[in-house]
Structure 1
């Protein structure tokens, strides 16, 4: 009997060992033995807070960060046109250019000049000013007259014509306002306008104004006129206070701009 019990014990032990081996080995070629569980790779750094685990161990969803309101575009003084604004809205937001009110009066104009500079690109003619004015290389304009430079100053008077360099408006007056603002690109930095005269001219509008920069200033004028070309023409004259004796020529210019034909 003892031999029988010993035999049964040996058989049982062998069966248990075989069972352990079967459990430890993969049951097929597509299965992999489970290894120790490792933490997943760290997630990339994020500004969002990590989820907070609940008592049951299930993480609660992290609330989405609130969206900041999109900033509204604001016209930048000196810029030609701020995004989202019309040309006139950008003009009215420019502190360098005051509103043109009814207090700005017409001015008495001298007789038109007989000697002219003809600009076929704009369809306009402007007075040919006498000495000390002289014609000069026009680029980037289409005609140009200048005063000789003054010692101690980089500024000098000039009279130029060119096709309208800004967006034409429905009103010739508004177009002239935008043109006057554009001329600040040709005055010293920090320049500001004050209006002296405003009036309608044949097929357009005329503005005369003072440009103040620091302790100095210039007198200037623009005439926007339809010369029958693809877009209106612009005549622009400016004279610094270092050449103030030639300020009277500004009236001669604005009275003498005319359409070719």
Structure 2
């Protein structure tokens, strides 16, 4: 029988497979682990968003700095940024009485200035006295009226057969028929009135006296101041609207509508004032008549009253 000889081959041990653990972090000189950046681990869309936000912040900061630099001298409240100063006109007129001052912006363009009102224009006219300027600056009084004759007012004409003598003023005037009657004169020289209207505040009257205001250079201006003074005998807040302005013998006549309110209701009176020079008298004579709308049936008596003024 054959004999089998078992041969043992040279064998060596297989290397052991050992699973390695996670890499140990690097240590710095102090022994603490070195921190590594995680940017590389971020998705690209996140990086783009971060860059967009940073860009927006930078742009806003630049705009804010530019705005501060542009504002310059206008950083005070209520101030405007200074601009180029316009050269003054070669012949700038000096402002007269009642004329507006220079524009705050220094502009010389007349289109930027409001057109003056009639009252201001009249007040700025050369030769006006301080009293006339004050009267024309009064919001109750419009500008100097243009020439216009007194029209025949509505109502029944009452012919006056008698006359009153005003020794203080140096004139005579009609004594109006009933229901007009003479009344206590002060502060006037003569006074005639109509009976009071029930519930009325104003009263019709026809009076005369030396002018109670400063005499002006012309009868027209004296009449203007006299008409303004007569507002003292109308309700508070009354205003004037001219209806006539005409010369009379040695004087001037102004007629006007006096507007006011009584218990919040608009009312008015028709009125007229005559100023006339009296030879040898220290002051001109003034004749004043006013009749409220509640007694409009007697408005024609205004024509009779002003036409009756005569030197004594």
TM-score normalised over the length of structure 2:
0.54
Conserved 8 A contact 1:112-1:255: no
- Per the TM alignment, residue 100 of structure 1 is displaced from its structure 2 partner at its CA by 2.5
Q: Tell me the equivalent position of 2:236.
A: 189
Q: Quote the Cα distance in structure 2 between the aligned partners of 1:112 and 1:178.
A: 30
Aligned to 2:271: 220
Structure 1 runs of 4+ with >4 Å offset: 108-114
Residue 105 of structure 1 is matched in structure 2 by 148
Contact 1:112 1:256 in 2 (8 A): no
1:55-94 per-position Cα deviation (integer Å, ceiling 9, x unaligned): xxxxxxxxxxxxxxxxxxx9xxxxxxxxxx8101101110
Shift of 1:113: 4.8
Q: Tell me the equivalent position of 1:87.
A: 131
Query: Match for 1:239 among 265, 287, 291?
Result: 291
Q: TM-score w.r.t. structure 1 length?
A: 0.64
Q: Which residue does 1:256 correspond to in 2?
A: 308
Gapped regions of structure 1 (runs ≥ 5): 1-73, 75-84
Instruction: Give the CA deviation at 1:112.
Output: 8.7
Distance in 1 (alpha carbons) for counterparts of 2:211 and 2:168 = 11
Q: Secondary structure at the match of 2:288?
A: strand
SS of equivalent to 2:297: helix
- Of residues 185-194 and 227-236 in structure 1, the stretch that sits farther from structure 2 once superposed is 227-236
Pick the structure with greater CA Rg. 2
* RMSD between aligned residues: 2.1
Q: 1:199 aligns with which of 246, 250, 256?
A: 246
Aligned residues: 177
Mapped partners of 2:276, 2:145: distance in 1: 21
Query: Is residue 98–residue 193 contact of structure 1 (8 Å, CA) maintained in 2?
Result: yes
Contact 1:127 1:253 in 2 (8 A): yes
